[in-house]
């Protein structure tokens, strides 16, 4: 056998995660920078389109400027994996936060649409490095038996930051002007860089051991080529998860508007759904750690798929709100599932390179979901587009039921074995 189906040849080199780790020890190093950065991002998310409009952009161009953050993440995923593997997660994280702060200062100073667009693109590049470094860090230091809870909590802290940020941004814009939001976000990113710089680099020892054992640096492309089967099977399922999640964020407001609901009512519906979403990240992680990843991956997609299929049947605020909360339930309980499956599938010694490709799969899904809605809506009513996404999500749940047990770690793990990682190729 060859490639990722090769049986283990030797144990992985490097420090294994400790058998026990306290949540208190993870609070600041793992979640502190995430909370700071996500609050800053939440503060500017509603402002980017408004800034573009103030600089003379049309609605279409303003939407494109907003999309540049996602495009930056797509462009940055593979380089992020290479950078983190080369310099380590801590240095990559400090660099990402510093770059994000510089980009946000650029947005603060922007007096032209081109400069604003460039700044937003760079924030996406920095976000790719930041997200990968956080995931790689927890993959390295957290034992498998609590990995899903740790990564779900990471996803939850990001959601909490995005929930808090817009309120801070609104207060700053009211008290000063729209540029104040960018200044605040830059301060948050800079604070995250300073905080990270003063934390110990707990992954340095494992990198030193791998170097001493003669395991040299490998390119991202060589690692992805070796583990291409994982990416073409489980990675495809992750694309469906990400597509369903990103589509949910846009389809509920669009459907509410099509049924005549005003902006205030739509905002309330969205906020209540986000609250349901935000409260369920830890239970989802606990289920994954105790029973297995498939017991969250499949049900969450079935719930999201059901929400898509039910949404066209609603026409009132109560009905749309109920379906939005159902979708929030499905999305919330699956917090951290993409990161957990990526950590499970990542090869020992080359996690960062692999996770660069893994995050690319997820970000391609994030981009493709809304594009699918747009494409179908060109030739059919919005209800048809929504039901098409629902059908895709339900089919995707079946695909996940097939491949999650094959590659996941923890309870119910399949042929991957204990720990969920394959050793590097000899």
pLDDT at 146: 87
pLDDT class of 367 with cuts at 50, 70, 90: confident
Average pLDDT over residues 55-69: 83
Given its phi and psi angles, is residue 237 left (phi above 0), alpha (psi -120 to 50 degrees) or beta?
alpha
In the structure encoding, which two tokens stand for residue 160, read together? 């909490």
pLDDT class of 201 with cuts at 50, 70, 90: low
Average pLDDT over residues 81-110: 91
As a whole number of angstroms, the distance between CA 34 and CA 155 comes to 9
pLDDT class of 211 with cuts at 50, 70, 90: low
pLDDT class of 138 with cuts at 50, 70, 90: confident
Q: What's the mean pLDDT when you consider all of the chain?
A: 84
Average pLDDT over residues 239-257: 87
**Buried (b) or exposed (e) across 272-306, using 16+ Cβ within 10 A?**
ebbebbbbbbbebbebbbeebbbbbbbbbbbbbbb
Average pLDDT over residues 201-206: 60
As a whole number of angstroms, the distance between CA 37 and CA 373 comes to 30
Q: 219 or 132, which is more confident? A: 132
Task: Confirm if 244 and 299 have CB atoms less than 8 A apart.
Answer: no
pLDDT at 19: 55
Domains in the chain: ranges and CATH: 22-202 (1.20.1250.20), 220-407 (1.20.1250.20)
pLDDT one-digit tens code per residue, 349-363: 788 889 999 999 999
pLDDT at 337: 92
As a whole number of angstroms, the distance between CA 278 and CA 293 comes to 19
pLDDT class of 377 with cuts at 50, 70, 90: confident
On the question of pLDDT at 369 being above 70, the answer is yes
Residue 314: half-sphere exposure toward Cβ, Cα within 13 Å: 25
pLDDT at 15: 45
**Residues recorded for the chain:** 426
């Amino acid at each position: 056998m060859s490639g990722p189906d090769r049986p283990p040849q030797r144990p992985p080199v490097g420090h294994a995660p400790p058998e026990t780790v306290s949540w208190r020890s993870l609070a600041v190093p793992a979640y502190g920078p995430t909370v700071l950065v996500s609050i800053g991002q939440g503060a500017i998310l509603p402002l980017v389109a408004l800034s573009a409009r103030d600089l003379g952009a049309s609605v279409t161009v303003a939407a494109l400027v907003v999309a540049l953050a996602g495009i930056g993440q797509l462009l940055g995923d593979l380089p992020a994996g290479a950078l983190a593997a080369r310099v380590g997660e801590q240095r990559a994280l400090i660099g990402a936060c510093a770059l994000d702060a510089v980009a946000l200062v650029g947005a603060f100073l922007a007096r032209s649409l081109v400069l604003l667009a460039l700044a937003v693109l760079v924030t996406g590049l920095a976000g790719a490095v930041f997200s990968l470094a956080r995931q790689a860090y927890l993959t390295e230091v957290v034992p498998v038996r609590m990995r899903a809870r740790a990564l779900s909590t990471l996803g939850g802290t990001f959601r909490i930051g995005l929930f808090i940020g817009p309120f801070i941004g609104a207060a700053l814009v009211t008290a000063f002007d729209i540029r104040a939001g960018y200044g605040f976000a830059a301060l948050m990113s800079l604070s995250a860089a300073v905080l990270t710089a003063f934390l110990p680099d707990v992954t340095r020892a494992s990198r030193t051991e791998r170097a001493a054992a003669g395991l040299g640096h490998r390119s991202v492309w060589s690692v992805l080529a070796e583990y291409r089967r994982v990416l073409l099977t489980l990675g495809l399922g992750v694309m469906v998860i990400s597509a369903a999640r990103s589509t949910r964020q846009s389809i509920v407001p669009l459907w509410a508007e099509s049924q005549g609901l005003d902006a205030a009512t739509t905002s309330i519906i969205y906020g209540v759904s986000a609250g349901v979403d935000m409260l369920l990240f830890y239970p989802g992680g606990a289920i994954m750690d105790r029973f297995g990843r498939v017991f969250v991956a499949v049900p969450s997609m079935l719930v999201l798929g059901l929400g898509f299929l039910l949404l066209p049947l609603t026409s009132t605020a109560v009905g749309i709100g109920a379906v939005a909360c159902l979708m929030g339930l499905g999305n919330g309980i699956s917090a951290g599932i993409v990161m957990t499956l990526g950590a499970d599938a990542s090869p020992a010694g080359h996690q960062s390179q692999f996770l660069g490709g893994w995050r690319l799969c997820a970000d391609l899904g994030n981009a493709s979901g809304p594009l699918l809605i747009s494409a179908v809506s060109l030739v059919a009513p919005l209800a048809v587009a929504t039901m098409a996404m629902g059908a895709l999500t339900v089919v995707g749940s079946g695909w996940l039921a097939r491949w999650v047990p094959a590659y996941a770690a923890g309870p119910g793990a399949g042929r991957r074995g204990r720990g969920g990682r394959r050793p590097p190729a000899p």
